[in-house]
Amino acid sequence: MPLPRFHRLADDRQRHILDVARGHFAQHGPDAASYNKIIESAGVSKTAAYQYFDGKDDLLATVLDGVRDRLLAALGPWEPAESGSAFRARLDDGSRALLAHLHEHPEDLALADLAIGRAGEAQWLGWFEAVVDDGQALGLIRTDLDRSLLVAATAAVMRAADTWTLARLRSGNGQDTAQIAGQVWVLLAGLWNGGSDEGRTGDAH
């Protein structure tokens, strides 16, 4: 976590420092990124830098927390659906919003896996817990597997699908988002109910 003096900076100054750091970490990777180059690019002296953060790892943790928070904000809170079709529509909406954010903020995309894998992973998985609980209540998602395993697998599938979808869209291979979404739903159906049509179409039993 940042040291108290960092929080006393003006909001725009805090954002500038973290934006610069995020760019360096995304471009060079957390291991190769230079703390000295980050603070120099941000216009921060070495003396001040160590009054803001304990070091590079502390700065990275702060950047990753921000990435995770932006991903969750893009998804928005999960609201229980009243039907299978509404469930699919809400999941589609959340996925589209997340894809749009990642497309517009490639630095967040580069750091997303690290951000999700931090101690704050529980906050990320909380969104998918709500999805799974809602899907099970609607009869769309199997109940014979351990809940925590199913939640983790669902989150992993969706992250992989988002990364794959962005790559497909950037390649310009002619597939539209509806075609891509259909393939993702087939994959989710296999996870959630063994591939039956109910999970793919979003119709309840």
Check residue 175 and give its pLDDT: 56
Residue 59 forms part of a structural domain:
no
Tell me, yes or no, whether 193 and 105 share the same domain: yes
Kindly indicate the confidence band of residue 3, based on its pLDDT and cuts at 50, 70 and 90: very high
Tell me, yes or no, whether 12 and 75 share the same domain: no
Residue 125: domain span: 68-201
Residue 190 forms part of a structural domain:
yes
Percent of residues, the chain, with pLDDT higher than 90: 59
**Residue 14 clears pLDDT 60, i.e. is over it:** yes
CA torsion sign for 160, 74, 8, 27 is: positive
As a whole number of angstroms, the distance between CA 71 and CA 68 comes to 5
Check residue 204 and give its pLDDT: 39
**Residue 120 clears pLDDT 70, i.e. is over it:** no
Q: Which residue, 112, 27, 104, 129, is CA-closest to 71?
A: 112
Here the tokens at position 170 are 């950037």
Tell me, yes or no, whether 50 and 74 share the same domain: no
Name the burial class of residue 10, with classes exposed (0-12), middle (13-18) and buried (19+) by CB atoms within 10 angstroms of its CB. Answer: exposed
Task: Lowest mean pLDDT of 50-54, 59-63, 121-125, name the range.
Answer: 121-125
If one compares 197 and 1, the residue with the highest pLDDT of the two is 1
Number of domains present in the structure of the chain: 2
Residue 61 forms part of a structural domain:
no
CA torsion sign for 148, 149, 151, 155 is: positive
Residue 84 forms part of a structural domain:
yes
Tell me, yes or no, whether 75 and 108 share the same domain: yes
